[in-house]
């Protein structure tokens, strides 16, 4: 998966088989694998934001959903 900060390639949705441009960043953390301040990110297009959020949400992993613009502006 591309980092949201990689400037060399288009930022593509993380949903399986989706090639749409990502507009959302889903920040998540699996407490069994990651320290509490660690953030993994998934990218989502408009169509998949809900689906991917739910996937992470039901597992209790989802921490934050922000636009890609906001994410990059936050410098993470
Ligand atoms: Zn998508």
Domain for residue 53, yes or no? yes
Question: Structure pTM?
Answer: 0.82
* Host domain of residue 48: 24-69
pLDDT in tens, 29-68: 999 999 999 999 999 999 999 999 999 999 999 999 999 9
**52 CA → ligand 1 middle, Å:** 9
Say how many C-beta atoms besides its own lie within 10 A of residue 54's C-beta.
11
Per-residue pLDDT band for 9 (boundaries 50, 70, 90) equals low
The pLDDT value recorded for residue 58 is 98
Give the ranges where the chain is alpha helix by DSSP (H): 49-58, 68-73
CA 48 → CA 29, 39, 41, 42, 43, distances in Å? 19, 20, 14, 11, 9
In 3-state terms, what secondary structure has residue 60?
coil
Q: Please indicate whether residue 2 or residue 38 has the higher confidence score (pLDDT).
A: 38
Residues 11-35 have a mean pLDDT of: 96
Flag whether 55 is in a domain. Answer: yes
Q: How far is the CA of 65 from the centre of ligand 1 (A)?
A: 15
Instruction: Confirm whether 16 is domain-assigned.
Output: no
Domain presence at residue 5: no
Task: Provide the domain count of the chain.
Answer: 1
């Amino acid at each position: 998966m591309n980092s949201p900060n990689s400037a060399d390639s288009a930022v593509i949705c993380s949903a399986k088989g989706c090639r749409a441009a990502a507009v959302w960043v889903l920040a998540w953390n699996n407490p069994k694998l990651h320290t509490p301040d660690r953030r993994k990110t998934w990218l989502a297009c408009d169509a998949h934001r809900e689906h991917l959020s739910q996937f992470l949400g039901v597992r209790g992993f989802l921490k934050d959903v922000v636009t890609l613009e906001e994410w990059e502006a936050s410098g993470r």
